[in-house]
Amino acid sequence: MTETSLLPKAARFDGVSFEDLVEEILDDAGLTK
């Protein structure tokens, strides 16, 4: 997943930058999922 990948493209359309998207994914890190 780079800045031009599909998920960041869709997130950008929703107003979320690549950096914020990566942080959002990190924020959801956990165990026992």
Partner 1 sequence: MREFTTVGIGGAAERLVFPRSVREIQEILASERAANREVRALGGGSNLLVSDGGVRGTVVCLKKNMGKVLFASGGTAVADAGVMLPRFAVLCALSALSGAEELGGIPGTVGGALTMNAGAYGRAIGDIVEWVEIVDPEGTLHRVAARDIRFSYRTAEYPVGGIIARAGFRLRPGHSDDAFSRMKTLNERRRASQPWGERTFGSTFRNPPGLERAAVLLERVGMKGAREGDAMFSEKHANFMINRGRAGASDILRLIARGREAVRKLADITLATEVKMWGSPMSEKGRFRGKTVGVFLGGESSEREVSLRTGGAAASALRRKGYPVVEIDIRGDWLSAIRKAEIDVAFIALHGRLGEDGCIQGALELARVPYTGSGVAASAVSMSKVLAKRVVAAVGVPCAPDTVFEGEALAAPAPPAFGFPLVVKPDREGSTVGVSVVRDLGGWAGAMAEAGRYDTRVLVEAYVPGREITVGIVNGRVLPAIEIVPKSASGLYDYHSKYTVGQTEYVIPVPMDRDILLRARSSLGRRLPPSRCAARQGWITGSTRQGTSSSWRRTRSRE
Residues that bind partner 1 (CB under 8 A): 1-7, 9-11, 13-33
Q: Tally Cβ neighbours within 10 Å of residue 19.
A: 10
Smallest distance from partner 1 to CB 17, Å: 8
SS3 (DSSP) at 29: coil
Query: Residue 10 belongs to what H/E stretch?
Result: helix 6-13
User: DSSP letter at 25?
Assistant: H
